[in-house]
A and B are shown apart, each in its own frame.
Chain A
Amino acid sequence: EVQLVESGGGLVQPGRSLKLSCLASGFTFSNYGMNWIRQAPGKGLEWVASISSSSSYIYYADTVKGRFTISRDNAKNTLYLQMTSLRSEDTALYYCARGGTDYWGQGVMVTVSS
């Protein structure tokens, strides 16, 4: 069974950093590109970043470019999102999703507030 389990969220002050993880199981992680997608409270879905299976290709939304870094460790079956210079507008539920977005995690909440 495919599973994606996010962790690392929490309450953080503006300007601080946070690192999210997404542990994958039930499929060959190294064969798939991965995505981070977020949803602000009561709002719609916003794509954040994508990474190819071997990390050769990485893309970011303009809203996070230069502040967020997506990475992966195929040996650990884990996807990461390093978030720096956090802003209140980054407050959201962050989902990791497998390449074709056929599987999503349950999401992890990030709240940026003083």
Chain B
Amino acid sequence: DIVLTQAPLSVSVTPGESASISCRSSKSLLSSKGITSLYWYLQKPGKSPQLLIYRMSNLASGVPDRFSGSGSETDFTLKISKVETEDVGVYYCAQFLEYPFTFGSGTKLEIK
């Protein structure tokens, strides 16, 4: 199974500052079709997860452009610029390259 390792476990950010979350995969997530199947989600307290980024760097519909995704075949970063209080929650990465699909263990973002 593909293992996704997220870091840090938690991050505390002052509103207006930036935050970065790392996700490292145990295997390349680049498919033969040239698509990198790494996704990012935010789960706000008491809510269902919401898709932020798909295929490593594509912004999901309705997601503010303060969110951006980047990376290589195995190392990925979610960057949140100008953090707002509404960004609080747990961030997960996930891979949909192959079954079983797997998720990272999550990174909790708090506001200072």
Contact = CB atoms under 8 A, between A and B. Distances in A.
Contacts of B96: 101
A39 B58 CA distance: 25
B103 interface: yes
A45 B54 contact: no
Given A100-B54, A102-B51, A107-B48, A47 B103 contact: yes
Given A44-B92, A102-B60, A102-B61, A61 B100 contact: yes
A24 to B, nearest CB: 15
A109 B48 CA distance: 13
Contacts, number: 46
Contacts of B41: 45, 101
A105 B105 CA distance: 21
A45 B99 CA distance: 15
Interface in A57-101: 59, 61-62, 95, 100-101
Contacts of B102: 47
Interface string B40-70: 0101000011110010000011000000000
Interface of B: 39, 41, 43, 48-51, 54, 60-61, 90, 92, 94, 96, 99-106
Interchain residue pairs A-B with the least CB separation, the first 8:
A47-B101, A104-B48, A45-B103, A59-B99, A102-B51, A44-B106, A61-B100, A44-B105
